[in-house]
Amino acid sequence: MATIGGLAERLAEVVGDSHVLATPGAMEPYACDESSLAPHFPDLVVRPGSTAEVSRVLREASLRGVPVTPRGLGTGLTGGAVPVRGGLVLSLERMDRVLEVDEANLVAVVQPGLRLQELHRAVESRGLFYPPDPASLESCSIGGNVAVNAGGPRAARYGITRHYVLGVEAVLADGRVMRYGGKTIKNTTGYALPHVLIGSEGTLAVITEVTVRLLPLPREQVDVLVPFPDAGGAARAVGEIVLGKRVIPAAVELMDRAAVTAAARFLGREVPHRDAGAQLLIQLDGNDRDDLEAQVEALGGLCLDHGAADVLVATGPQARERLWSARRAVLEAVKRLAAHADFLDVAVPRARIPDFLDRIGTVAPAWGLDLAAWGHAADGNIHLAAYCPKPDPDWPRALGTLTAAVHGAALDLGGVIASEHGIGCLKRRYLGQALDSSSVELMRGVKEVFDPQGILNPGKILP
C-alpha cells in the first residue's frame, strides 16, 4: 500500500524545500503533457538535482510503495509523463547540463533534463552534429527523447535516438544506480541494457545521464519546398527521390493541404502554394556546395516529372527557418484552431504511404471529422490530426472509430501504431492489437525484473 504521509518532509531533506511542490498551483504544470489526456495531479512533485538525489528519492518511494512518474520537459504526446496513478512526479528539469562535449571521440555526455536544442547548439558550435530532431526540439528534453526513442525528420538518413545512445546511467526503482556503456560505438558486454531502457518511457528505470555519439556537422545544407497537386502524388515522388538519386535526403517532410493551412493560419503568415494538395519539404546536406546544387537540380526535375507545380529553394538561414517553423507548427496549430483535436502517430513501409493515405482518406469525412496528415515521408512515419472545428458531443466516439480504422490500416500495410511518440497511457489499449501475446508477456516479464513493485510510471505501455 502506498503511503504518502511524511514523504514530503523526507524528500525536502533530500532535495531542499523549494524542490518539493505540493500545492495544486505549483503542481499544475506537471499534471499534463502535450497530449489530449486530461490533467492528473500527483501527490507531490520532486525535482532532484543530481543522480544521488534521484537515488534517494526512489529509495524513499520504493520503501513506501509510492508510484513515481519520471518526467523530462513534458512534451510527450501519449500521456507518458502524466501521473495517472498519483504519487510522485520526479521531474528531471534541474539536471539539464551538457557535462562534456568530447570532440576527439565524437561523443557528448549530457543530463536528461537538457533541452534538445541546447544539445544541438553545444555540438554544432564545435562543428559536430547530433541528428535526432523531433519537431518539439525547442522544448523537449534529451531524457524524454531517450525514454520514447524519439525520431524526427532526419531519421530516414541519420536514424533515430536509439542509434546515437552509447551509454546510460540510470537509477533503478529501489534506488540502485547502474551504468552501462560509454564512449565506444561497439559494445557486446552481455545484454544491451541501454536498449532495453530506450523507449521504455520511464517504466523501467530513471535515466540520469546519457552518452551520445556525434557526427561531423555537414558543411552545407539546402532546403527545398515542392508543392504537389495531391498527397498521394507527393508520397509517390518520395520513393523515386530516394531510389533514383542514390542518396537518402536528410529529411523529406510531407504536409497535406489541411496541415499547411492550419500552420499558415496559426502563424498568421502567407505560405507559398498554400492551396497545393500537399507539399514536400526536402532537406539535403553534405560538404560540397556544387554537389548539393546538382542534387537539388536533379531532385527538382524528378519532382516536376512527378507532377510538382514548382520547386522553391530556400536561400539562407532565414528562409530555411521559415519553412521549418511552419512545418513544426502544424501540431500546435491544429490544437489551437480546433474545438477537439487528437493526434495519431503511425508508420508504414515507405512505399505504402500512398495506399495508406488512400485508405484513411475516406474514413474521417464519414464520421464528420477533419483530418490533417503530415510527417516524415522518407521513413514512412505519418502523423495525423483528427479534429472538429466546433464542439461536438459525438467527438469521443468518432475519434475512437477513426483511431481504430487508422491503426488497422497501418497494421494491414505492415506498419506500426506507435512510431516515434510511444505508447504512454493513450495507446495502451491498442498494444494487444499491435503485438502478439508472447511479446506482451515478455514485456511484462521485463517490467517485473526492473521494477518488481511496479512503482515506476504505472499505467503506461502495458495494458
DSSP 19: G
Q: Using the 8-state DSSP alphabet, how is residue 130 labeled?
A: -
349 lines the binding site for a copy of itself (CB under 8 A): yes
Stretch that binds a copy of itself, among 5-13, 137-145, 357-365, 413-421 (CB under 8 A): 413-421
Draw the binding track, 241-260, toward a copy of itself (x: CB under 8 A; -: no contact): -xx-xxxx------------
| Interaction of residue 223 with a copy of itself, rule CB under 8 A | no
11-30 binders of a copy of itself (CB under 8 A): none
Residue type, 441: E
Q: Can you tell me which of 23, 191, 316, 362 binds a copy of itself, judged by CB under 8 A? A: 191
Within residues 286-325, the interface with a copy of itself by CB under 8 A covers: 287-288, 291
The residue among 95 and 238 lying less far from a copy of itself, judged by its C-beta, is: 238
In the complex with a copy of itself, the residue whose CB is nearer, 355 or 370, is 355
Q: Which of 151, 202, 354, 458 binds a copy of itself (CB under 8 A)?
A: 151
Dihedral (CA of 311, 316, 318, 321) sign: positive
Angstrom distance (rounded) from CA 154 to CA 158: 6
Query: Taking a C-beta distance cutoff of 8 angstroms, is the pair 167, 183 a contact?
Result: yes
Q: Among the candidate windows 93-101, 297-305, 324-332, 350-358, which touches a copy of itself by CB under 8 A?
A: 350-358
Interface of this chain with a copy of itself, residues 91 to 150, rule: CB under 8 A = 102-107, 127, 148-149
Q: Which uninterrupted H or E stretch holds 384?
A: strand 381-388
184 binds a copy of itself (CB under 8 A): yes
For position 85 contacting a copy of itself by CB under 8 A, the verdict is no
Query: Does residue 229 bind a copy of itself (CB under 8 A)?
Result: no
Shortest Å distance, C-beta 374 to a copy of itself:
15
* Residues across the chain: 463
Q: At what angle do helices 395-412 and 353-361 cross, to 10 degrees?
A: 150
C-alpha cell at 290: 556544387
Least distance (Å) between residue 242 CB and a copy of itself: 7
What b/e string do you get for 164-189 counting C-beta neighbours within 10 Å, with b at 16 or more? bbbbbbbbbbbbebeebbebeeeeee
Nine cell digits for residue 366: 464519414
Task: List binders of a copy of itself among 364-403 (CB under 8 A).
Answer: 376, 379-381
Q: How far is the CB of 384 from a copy of itself (least distance, A)?
A: 15
* Cα distance between residue 144 and residue 76, in whole Å: 8
Q: Is 173 in the site for a copy of itself (CB under 8 A)?
A: no
Taken in order 218, 223, 228, 232, the sign of the CA dihedral is positive
Provide CB contacts within 8 A for 372, sequence distance 6+: 256, 258, 259, 262, 330, 334, 384, 385, 387
254: Cβ–Cβ under 8 A, 6 or more apart, which residues? Answer: 231, 234, 235, 238, 278, 279, 280, 353, 373, 374, 375, 376, 377, 382
Residue 59 is a binding residue for a copy of itself (CB under 8 A) = no
Nearer to a copy of itself, 86 or 159 (CB): 159
Among 162, 265, 306, 320, binds a copy of itself (CB under 8 A): 162
Residue 43, interface with a copy of itself (CB under 8 A)?
A: no
Cα 423–425–427 angle (5° rounding)? 45
Nearer to a copy of itself, 181 or 459 (CB): 181
153 or 300: whose CB is closer to a copy of itself?
153
- Residue closer to a copy of itself by CB (options 4, 446) is 446
Beta pairing, strands 98-102 & 128-129: unpaired
Pick the binder of a copy of itself from 179, 274, 320, 322 (CB under 8 A). Answer: 179
Count of other CB atoms within 10 angstroms of residue 376: 25
418 binds a copy of itself (CB under 8 A): yes
Residue tagged 497535406 (cell numbers) = 256
